[in-house]
Amino acid sequence: MGNDDNRRRKSPCNCCLSVFKWIPVLFIFGVIAWSYYAYVVELCVLKTENNVAKIFLLIFYHIALVLFLWSYWQTINTPVGRVPDQWRIPDEEVNQLFRADNQETQKRILNNFARNLPVTNRTINGSVRFCEKCKIIKPDRSHHCSVCSCCVLKMDHHCPWVNNCVNFSNYKFFVLFLGYALVYCLYVAFTTLNDFIMFVQNENGLAVSAQGQPGGSGMGRFHILFLFFISIMFAISLVSLFGYHIYLVLVNRTTLEAFRAPIFRVGGPDKNGYNLGRFANFCEVFGDKWQYWFLPVFTSKGDGLYFVTSTDQFGNGNAQRYEAMGRTAAGAATSNRLDADHTDKLIDAIPLNNHQPHLELDNVQSSSNNHPLIPSSQVTVNIEQTADAAAATTKTAPTLNNHVVDMIGDQVVPKDHFQLNGHPTAIADDRIV
């Protein structure tokens, strides 16, 4: 982060703003403290006469409260997952990037730097994702948080109720916090429901409580009544939020990805790009050891920089898979595919301002002028004059809006340029994964 950003963070205005950010957290702790007094003192100690019932009420209440506060504290106190320094672009290349006169030049500078980084996500124009504020290549599923002033690994959203980013480091804690908060509210609501019913049925409930029950008081009954109402209101809001995040866990999607699908280098936008199956998705967040699933201790799988995609998990044998910027792997041998060598190395051999897509067809004229610096064997997509070969070509030439993407130069060639014996080839618009 630059010096200007550090000065802004240390300014008096930002110091005051950081104090105000803790107001929602202090409000939650205040509500919890009042609910503890209302439940333990007014309900259990002063009102409940049966000692056995009193013990059971206090035991289960404190179990729910401890798990709730533990997960809440972990969500608040866990540091934000920041991007490591090796993803940062040197200042010389940043200056070169900003001085570039066209978008293609910028794309090639970013591609060259990210060749050995495990990134598969792209921007809408097909470029490697780059943060202009942090001067880094963004890892997959990471985003810049304007509140935290940094790029966050697997960012879900910034939550003011925890004064922290919900991200790879604390997402399990956040889901457990919502779940245990819901359990806490429902437990309090169900155990105070009888008092609420008695209060509604008996118009003289306050007088009866004050005279007929030892230790009872009119104010104590109001504490219990308000405790029931507040627990019900919080439970109603929590059940929808908790249910939504459970759904996101089971489909392996963040809140940001639910609103805008991630764009992959091969295949384009895909909201199910990280969906590995419900159990595998659950284990990616909660870990493989079931003993720790419901405890707020970190057990999430991975490092927040690389994530297994659905193509890695269920990729068919004929699909070409891109593991990183500079590596390609084929699940099975195919007759018509790009060379499995490092495709990004071909970019370096092409002048930045003079690159044209080069696709050579058998017995047909090339769709563009041959480039003298590139051997034709490295940049050739052979299209056999058979129906089977044409069908195989559909799996190696990703299309977008009736255009074929040149995977070497990240450029788009109109589908009509492909001719076979005077007729368009059968290149389908299936998504390539």
Residue 13 has pLDDT above 70, yes or no: yes
Tens of pLDDT along 327-348?
333 333 333 322 333 333 323 3
**Quick one: average pLDDT of 201-205?**
59
Contact 177, 71 (CB under 8 A): yes
State the SS3 of 294-332. Answer: CCCCCCCCCCCCCCCCHHHHHCCCCCEEECCCCCEEECC
Exposed e or buried b for every residue in 175-192, given b needs 16+ CB within 10 A? bbbbbbbbbbbbbbbebb
Q: Which of 44, 134, 150, 159 is catalytic?
A: 159
More confident residue, 380 or 169: 169
Encode pLDDT of 350-365 as tens digits: 333 333 333 333 443 3
- What pLDDT, on a 0 to 100 scale, did the predictor assign at position 180? 97
149, pLDDT greater than 50: yes
pLDDT band (50, 70, 90) for residue 107: confident
- Exposed, middle or buried by CB within 10 Å (0-12, 13-18, 19+), for 13? exposed
| 290 contacts: CB under 8 Å, gap ≥ 6 | none
Q: What is the mean pLDDT of the chain?
A: 74
The pLDDT value given to residue 200: 76
Most confident among 186-190, 200-204, 367-371 (mean pLDDT)? 186-190
pLDDT above 80 (res 162) = yes
Catalytic residue status for 165: no
Mean pLDDT calculated for residue range 96-104: 83
pLDDT tens for 403-422 read 444 433 344 444 444 443 44
CA dihedral defined by 252, 257, 258, 263, rounded to 10 degrees? -100
